[in-house]
Amino acid sequence: MQSPLSLLCLPWAGASAMTYMRWRRVLPQWIRIVPLELPGRGSRPAEPAVEDFAQLVAGLHDDYNHMLRGRYALFGHGMGALLAYGLAQRVRDAGGVPPQSLLVSGSAGPVRCSTMACRQGNCGDAELIAELQRQGCTARQVFELPDLMHKALGVMRADHCICSSFRRSCGMQLSMPIHVFGGRQDDILPDGMQAWHSETSAHCTMNWFDGGVRFLREQEETLLAVLAHRLVQDSYVIPAAASSMRMTIPLIPVAG
């Protein structure tokens, strides 16, 4: 039997990577969810938040270097998609073991993010609260308790600084397949999502799901079925455990 594939997951702005732990109940057992928590939140609350993209990627590479080996893939949603991309580049530049796959969700391609208005470091509290509400993933108690709200706003503000400091590297393309997931009603235009195609010398796929900014949660089981299917496709050998998955893997990918 194949050893499990580790799916290293990076969070979107304002979120904790521990949110991905809920995927364990749906994904097949050969996919092992590994949240890559960022400083200042979740399981790392005492550490200062990092506000610079390059500094954060370098820190993640150092902090989780022991996980960036063997059979693994990277997944990120929103800001996490850019962090996963930056981490894959960092591993390549350091001569490390590349991920089998890069899976990105809810983010335009890096070339678009370097030129789009993701310069959000100066947002006021009202704008940040509105974004947390729009995402729909923040517990109601956070909005009701001032101390929790203060902490959540600090994390969101730091994450906006991370986005605003992102700059696309002009180096070589990545060598692993990239799989892109987008919401049909999201604000990101299709050509922005399709810009991921230019980031790899391997193949790049695109899957669309109903929903806007919340499609990751609203279409969770469908998305995870496609995600698992993509990981099987990218495996050198289809895992024996794939035949006993706890979900139905579509034989035909979701059409774009």
Helix %, strand %, coil % of the chain (to 5): 45, 15, 45
pLDDT for the residue 186: 86
Which domain does 73 fall in, by range? 5-118+165-244
Q: Is residue 136 part of a domain?
A: no
- The stretch 7-12 carries a mean pLDDT of 96
Would strands 204-209 and 31-35 be described as parallel, antiparallel, or unpaired?
unpaired
Q: Is residue 212 part of a domain?
A: yes
Helix (H, G, I), strand (E, B), or coil: what is residue 153? helix
- What pTM did the predictor assign? 0.84
- The stretch 73-78 carries a mean pLDDT of 96
Q: Is residue 18 part of a domain?
A: yes
Residue linked to tokens 């579509």: 250
Helix (H, G, I), strand (E, B), or coil: what is residue 6? strand
Q: Is residue 102 part of a domain?
A: yes
| φ, ψ dihedrals at 243, nearest 5° | -75, -10
Q: Is residue 155 part of a domain?
A: no
- Range name among 2-16, 190-204, 227-241 with the lowest pLDDT average: 227-241
CA-CA distance, 142 to 150, in Å (whole number)?
Answer: 9
Report the number of distinct structural domains present in the chain: 1
Q: Is residue 149 part of a domain?
A: no
CATH classification of the domain holding 217? 3.40.50.1820
CA-CA distance, 75 to 190, in Å (whole number)?
Answer: 20
Q: Is residue 139 part of a domain?
A: no
Q: Is residue 251 part of a domain?
A: no
pLDDT for the residue 251: 37
Answer left, alpha or beta for residue 42, where phi above 0 means left and psi between -120 and 50 means alpha: left
Share of the chain above pLDDT 90, in %: 56
Longest alpha-carbon distance in the chain: 52
In tens, the pLDDT along 84-118 reads: 999 999 999 999 999 999 999 999 999 888 544 44
